[in-house]
């Protein structure tokens, strides 16, 4: 409850501050909408869709238009501050870039095709794959943008009682 130490890692300031710095460094503008989007993504534990971001941003900064969320997310992605991932058929999902979080590895998730559940998995899972792609196909894999689809044990064992989505 110490207001002076909101985070366990004081050495890493605030990802939002760092992001703002980088926006300026790129010569782009820091606006209420963009800052709010960054804050919301920073506070979110995992992926957020554009719509979820819209809802949360409007709690803190009412009046921000849905279109602006899309444009802000797009701009932040171009600046490398936000990463977009596609999971299944659904809306695109966004998270802060690992570089802002001090993480060397991005968060990696698997999604169950049947029940739609999302689980986090070992971040280095695709390390070998990335190396092989670089060597054999001259292709630089973006592990964050990869959505691994399949089935969780619960659904794979023929459990049909799950909500199909």
Which run of H or E residues covers position 35? Answer: helix 32-43
Closest distance between DNA and the C-beta of residue 144, in Å?
16
Window 99-128: residues binding a second copy (CB under 8 A): 110, 112-113, 119, 121-122, 125-126, 128
Which run of H or E residues covers position 132? Answer: helix 127-137
User: What residues pair up with 93 in beta bridges, in sequence order?
Assistant: 49, 85
Interaction between residue 2 and a second copy (CB under 8 A): no
Closest CA to 84 of 72, 101, 68, 66: 72
**Pairing relationship of beta strands 118-121 and 92-96 according to DSSP bridges:** unpaired
Q: How many residues sit in the footprint of a second copy (CB under 8 A)?
A: 33
Window 130-149: residues binding a second copy (CB under 8 A): 132-133, 136-142, 145-149
Closest distance between DNA and the C-beta of residue 101, in Å?
22
Window 72-101: residues binding a second copy (CB under 8 A): 86, 88-89, 92
CA-CA distance, 148 to 110, in Å (whole number)?
5
Q: Given the rule CB under 7 A, which residues bind DNA?
A: 24, 28-34, 49-51, 63-68, 70-72, 74-75, 89-92
């Amino acid at each position: 409850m110490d207001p002076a130490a909101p985070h366990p890692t004081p050495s890493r300031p605030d990802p939002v501050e760092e992001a703002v710095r980088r926006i300026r460094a790129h010569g782009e503008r820091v606006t209420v909408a963009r800052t709010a989007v960054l804050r919301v993504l920073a506070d979110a534990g995992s992926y957020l869709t554009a719509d979820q971001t819209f809802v949360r941003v409007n709690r803190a900064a009412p009046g921000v238009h849905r279109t602006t969320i899309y444009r802000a997310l797009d701009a932040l992605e171009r600046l490398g501050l936000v990463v977009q991932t596609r999971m299944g058929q659904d809306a695109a999902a966004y998270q802060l870039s690992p570089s802002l979080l001090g993480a060397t590895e991005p968060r990696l998730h698997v999604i169950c095709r049947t029940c739609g559940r999302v689980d986090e998995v070992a971040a280095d899972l695709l390390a070998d794959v990335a190396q092989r792609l670089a060597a054999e196909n001259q292709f630089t894999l973006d592990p964050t943008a990869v959505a691994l689809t399949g089935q969780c044990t619960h659904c794979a064992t023929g459990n049909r009682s799950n909500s199909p989505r």
